[in-house]
Amino acid sequence: MHYDNRPIGVFDSGVGGLTVLKTLSQLLPDESFVYYGDSLHAPYGEKSRQEILTLSKKAVRYLLDKNVKALVLACNTATSTTKAELMRLYPNIPIFGIEPALKPAVKDKHKHILVLATPLTLKLEKFQKFQYQLNQYMEQTTIHVLPCPGLANAIEKDVIAPGRRETEIFLDELLKPYRRVPVDAVVLGCTHYPLIKDSIKKYFNEPEVYDGYTGLGRHLKTTLEHAKKLADNRNTQTITFLSSDQQLVESGLYNQVFDAYDHTEGSFQ
Ligand code: DGL
């Protein structure tokens, strides 16, 4: 039996990818992880494609230096802008990404699906095409697409400096036009948003919330299994938290967010 006990690298623009990491670490309990958040340059969602590519390449090289066996882009924005290019540049390492989980929401036959994501994720051809394809097969479903400029940044800052109330103010303004829409499903197309899942749910009548992380976890597991790169089951899981912002590493903030975030409830204390 072949095993590979090297860690899996997980990357996001900041604290958002910790929500993905939580699910992955529970679905793959024998695997170790190295998390890298680029909080110094967050948010990514309103940057240009070129800027995100430059930052993502730097992050990938940083994680490869940590001897990771696979990479997870735990960021919808980075996935839609750079995944294809990163796969071309680093063909020897499996690269996974995360995309808005619109398909499962449509499959579950909801009537009003609200997709929340960064402006860049929703603007790109990839999402537009996807939405167009799904629209053709739906009769009773309406997809509402809402770009949320500033929301990831507000979450990032609120997490870093607890006590700020920016996120609530942002959310209130953003969701106002949908207050009277009977939204029964919300797709969280940005990995920062599960950190405020509770507040989003409260806005509507307990909608079903989709983030797509379980699917990603299963895909990661089967891919590693086929490549004979799973860690052996005596491997003790370790998780290392790194950031482009040294102060965040020293303060242990990522670690605290990771511990406090309850991914099944989507609440964060
Ligand atoms: N967490 C990221 C995403 O999933 C990016 C948020 C941001 O930096 O704008 O899209």
Whether 265 has a pLDDT exceeding 70, the answer reads no
User: pLDDT tens digits, residue range 140-174?
Assistant: 889 999 999 999 999 998 887 766 778 888 899 99
Please confirm, yes or no, whether 148 is among the known catalytic residues. Answer: no
Distance CA 251, CA 263 (A): 23
Length reported for the chain: 269
Q: How far is the CA of 202 from the centre of ligand 1 (A)?
A: 22
- CATH number 3.40.50.1860 is the correct assignment for the domain at 8-98+212-268: yes
* Residue to substitute in 127, 158, 190, 197 for testing ligand 1 pocket (most ligand atoms within 8 angstroms of CB): 190
Residue 127 has pLDDT above 70, yes or no: yes
Asked whether 74 lines ligand 1 (CB < 6 A), one says no
More confident residue, 50 or 169: 50
| Rounded distance between C-alpha atoms, residue 187 and residue 207, angstroms | 10
Kind and range of the H or E element at 237? none
pLDDT tens column, 193-213: 999 998 899 889 889 999 999
3-state secondary structure of 92: coil
CA distance 197 to 119: 19
pLDDT band at residue 14 using 50, 70 and 90 as cut-offs: very high
Q: How far apart are CA 251 and CA 73, in angstroms?
A: 24
Pairing of strands 70-73, 267-268: unpaired
Q: 125 in helix, strand or coil?
A: helix
Place of tokens 């967050």: 42
Region for residue 129 given its phi and psi (left: phi exceeds 0; alpha: psi -120 to 50; beta: otherwise)? alpha
Pick the range with the lowest mean pLDDT from 42-46, 68-72, 186-190. 42-46
Q: Whose CA is nearest to atom 2 of ligand 1?
A: 75
Q: Do domains 8-98+212-268 and 102-210 have the same CATH topology?
A: yes
> Which of 55-69, 87-101, 132-146 is the least confident region?
132-146
Domain parsing of the chain, residue ranges: 8-98+212-268, 102-210
Look at residue 136 in the predicted model and tell me its pLDDT. Answer: 73
160 versus 244: the higher-pLDDT residue is 244
Closest CA to 208 of 187, 222, 192: 187
pLDDT cut 90: percent of the chain above it: 76
Quick one: pLDDT band at residue 129, thresholds 50, 70, 90?
A: confident
Distances from the Cα of 201 to the Cα of 197, 213, 225, angstroms: 6, 18, 36
Residue in this structure with the two tokens 């990995």, named with its chain if needed: 191
Q: What is the DSSP string of 149-205?
A: TTHHHHHHHHHHSBTB-HHHHHHHHHHGGGTTS---EEEE-STTGGGGHHHHHHHTT
Angle between helices 76-89 and 49-65 in degrees, nearest 10:
60
Give dist(CA 95, CA 44) in Å, integer: 19
Ligand 1 centroid from CA 76, angstroms: 6
In testing the pocket of ligand 1, which one of 148, 191, 193, 245 has its CB within 8 Å of the most ligand atoms? 191
Residue 269 clears pLDDT 60, i.e. is over it = no
Q: Does domain 102-210 have CATH number 3.30.930.10?
A: no
Q: How many helices (H) and strands (E) does the chain have?
A: 12, 11
Among 23-37, 39-53, 125-139, 200-214, the range scoring the smallest mean pLDDT is 125-139
Residue 209: how many CA atoms within 13 Å on its side-chain side? 26
User: Is 102's C-beta closer than 6 angstroms to any atom of ligand 1?
Assistant: no
